[in-house]
Amino acid sequence: MRSPSRKWQVARYALPSLTLAALGLPVYLYVPLWLAELGGYSIVGLVFFAAIFSYVLNDTPMGAWIDQQGRLCHRS
């Protein structure tokens, strides 16, 4: 189990990327809708939405899994 100070260190390290990701969030949400409203781009909008939605759902679990795999294999 991580110590509380380690958790805050990780949170401080991730904070700049959180703010940058929050700036891009409206683009990820509204570009597919805008493309769908233009007509003929509904498939493109659906693909963009599916890609972003799958990224949102899979990013944290995959990162945790990769971190766990790194702890299990000790390289010298």
For residue range 16-52, what is the model confidence (pLDDT) as tens digits?
Answer: 888 788 888 888 888 778 877 777 666 777 888 899 8
Q: Which residue has the tokens 């929050």?
A: 22
CA distance linking residue 68 with residue 8, whole number of Å: 19
Identify the DSSP state of 59: H
Task: Give φ, ψ of 75 to 5 degrees.
Answer: -105, 145
d(CA 49, CA 43): 10
pLDDT over 90, % of the chain = 9
Res 73: pLDDT: 63
pLDDT at 75 exceeding the cut of 60: no
Average pLDDT of every residue of the chain:
79
Asked whether 31 and 46 are in contact (CB, 8 A), the reply is no
Amino acid at 20: L
C-alpha 40 chain-centroid distance? 28
